[in-house]
Chain A
């Protein structure tokens, strides 16, 4: 049993050595540039809402909504996935990438129908993000509420 585990660990290690090494520096730089630029666009949208008299706090949610709509539209046009190939997490981590993670699988699942295809696949990645986000936030907020008050 123990020998089995050791052998499988050894195999995993060997497998890992033979997988192509990702070009980390290039990937991290591309993520930094594209992620930063998307946030600059977000900052411009935020500024537009604030010029209408909103506080930065009030303007955050409508800004996120505008960026979501932009990300969904660019995914529908097939442009966001091109960007994602270059930028990796630089395009995935901003909320535009969250929109991309909703539209892309739903679009692919269209031929499986509108309920079990589009309706279900909208949440392939967004589902886990929402589930663990809500759970983590509930735990964190309850802890803070219990320990130091709201």
Chain B
């Protein structure tokens, strides 16, 4: 891991977020709509074979922004399909994303229970 990796992560991750902000400001879509849009775009680009090269170039710059959730779902589904055909295609996406999703539910719940709302 060199400085170049960090620079690419910064630039690509920053550009994805800037693009999302541009969508919010120009189209007046809500942030939630924009998040849904970017996850779906990530899935589409992944199936076209365009997202994987981006992750190789930018590392966390491509895997931390939300489109990578769509990418991980598609790659998991395709990997499942290679393993066990149609059933694998259906199950593979959530299998591949189980770790971050379960962490989000488990830790999100814990935080909501431990802390009190402000204001």
Footprint of B on A, CB under 8 Å? 22, 24, 27-40, 42-47, 50-51, 56, 60-65, 67-69, 72-73, 75-78, 87-90, 92-99, 101-103, 106-108, 110-111, 114, 118, 122, 125-126, 128-130, 132-134, 136-145, 150
Contact = CB atoms under 8 A, between A and B. Distances in A.
Given A39-B14, A78-B118, A133-B43, A68 B103 contact: yes
B68 to A, nearest CB: 8
Contacts of B38: 93
19 contacts: A22-B25, A28-B22, A31-B17, A35-B14, A35-B18, A39-B9, A60-B68, A61-B99, A72-B108, A72-B110, A95-B66, A96-B64, A98-B66, A110-B116, A133-B43, A137-B43, A141-B47, A144-B78, A150-B89
Interface residues of B, number: 79
Given A28-B25, A36-B17, A145-B89, A133 B39 contact: yes
Chain A contact residues, majority secondary structure: helix
B111 A73 contact: yes
Nearest to A77: B115
Contacts of A122: 105, 108-109, 112
